[in-house]
A and B are shown apart, each in its own frame.
Chain A
């Protein structure tokens, strides 16, 4: 597990500084965030914006998916995920900004871009009165080349080989989703986009599809996976972005997406004395009570010191256990809700959400989620993308 210490306020890593500069420049021509190190960016959006009347569905969204990523595109319902995906496919036209697939801009060079792109938006749709094989043959040969061998291959990949000759109309929802993935893979595109592929599936179906996406990632397929389930993204993706109201809330490697809570619960023979000791060590803000337990935000290295001091002070330490981790869904809810609250106040909020950790910590509105004292720095993106 990586070290999640936030960078000091004065030295945000270069990547972050770059992003900030780019944001202040703004506009549709801003370069893709350099998140990929030496891997090429295969899919990116640049100041992508879509308005429906007064509603701003997607608001200056900048994304970068690197080759080999299984990239999570996370947000609550109505956050603008599907609208973004539609713009990437060129199904709808951005109000401003553009998407870029393998160097081709959408909407400008839509056809060229789509040669490098596969996938589906919302629910994959096929002709119900034809077999899966025939559907793939039909759709795959539009602007591409779908050999029987390749069709067999992708049907095998998604586990539909034995049902390939039955009518799609008789397929279960899960099978249709898997056929959608097969169709996405058919012409071996550089990147596939899957729009909530597990939505509406039963637990087994969800598990199957996630397993499939994970397998795809293992063999090097670049996947852009949208979801409103944080744990799903965490299970299958390596990098992710969380959006809300069409704007980026946080972005970066998934390994660091989960909020790490280094708090411990302490039970001693003399809780009051332990409280004094802990407060002396970590300050009043670092110590709280929870059902008789003392909750101490000691950090990884603070715990041994705390125990040493307690023992030195003659307090009998009975238990030191990790505080229950903040639930991921709560974390997600907190993130998106606080950006909702900011949304009302206007433009700077989305920007602020992407500022480096120090600036974030200074923002009082972010110091807690759901009333639980949370170290602001942990929620902030660590800027090591």
Chain B
């Protein structure tokens, strides 16, 4: 716990922490601006739900932003966080400083991972709050029309949207863990982040082609929009359950791999 507090204090002292968050906060600002400028129109074929009607309800800003986050921005930001945790400290030499302290390598590794997760989580929470405020100010707060055409109250909608944010963060943690694992292999945080983002992008492209459908249940990228099933009536749970199992297994395997590397690694830099 002490270690986590130290990590937190360190993270909050870095400029790039805030740059990432500012990048995330820009998304709701853009969505609100676009919503204000565009006229309400029917949903285009292939377009994700909610986006077309964003100007009708402040809550839709939260959901539109979440779709953008899930598809692209959060995995990248999370990968950056995961990559910087071990490799960037190796780059500056401070990893050595930590490991000459009487703390176990397992604790160091787990804390750094937890900190990266916390960072992604905080980013998502920040975006949620900014989206809510901006959305309500711009478009008001109205009951949410579900994908099934039914209506749910604001309170229930907010609870489900919160859940959806958590689910998206859990997906981003997979990207984060890939970056994290690679950051134990390399001393370059840029390499780790690049590989993690490349993996996510390649998986997304694979998911787009039906020939690779056999892979779909196993790739975490498959489930990036699974949270939309929360907004059906009744809620359609199976894809959400699958997503959680997939995220859990993916993350656990990557963490084990990271530990296998880090526990025996010769720290030279």
Interface residue ranges, A against B (CB under 8 Å): 86, 89-93, 110-115, 117-130, 138-139, 141-144, 183
Contacts and interface: CB of A to CB of B under 8 A. Distances in A.
Contacts of A119: 100
Interface string B162-193: 00000000000000000000000000000000
Interface of B: 2-3, 6, 9-10, 13-15, 92-94, 96-104, 264, 266-268
A88 B215 CA distance: 47
A127 B98 CA distance: 11
A116 to B, nearest CB: 9
Given A120-B96, A122-B93, A141-B6, 12 more contacts: A91-B96, A93-B264, A112-B102, A120-B100, A121-B100, A123-B93, A125-B92, A126-B94, A126-B97, A127-B10, A138-B6, A144-B102
A89 B105 CA distance: 12
A141 B9 CA distance: 12
A118 B267 CA distance: 17
A86 B101 CA distance: 13
A139 B97 contact: yes
A37 to B, nearest CB: 29
B266 A139 contact: no
A129 B13 contact: yes
A92 B266 contact: yes
Contact of A142 (B13, B98, B267): B98
Given A111-B104, A127-B13, A90 B99 contact: yes
A142 B268 contact: no
A141 B99 contact: no
Contacts of B15: 129
B224 to A, nearest CB: 34
Interface centre among A92, A142, A183 (most CB of B within 10 A): A142
A183 B94 CA distance: 13
Contacts of B93: 122-123, 125
A134 to B, nearest CB: 8
Contacts of B102: 111-115, 142-144
A125 B91 CA distance: 10
B9 A138 contact: yes
B2 A141 contact: yes
A86 B268 contact: yes
Greatest chain A CB density within 10 A among B96, B97, B99, B101 is at B101
Contacts of B96: 91, 120-122, 125
A239 to B, nearest CB: 23
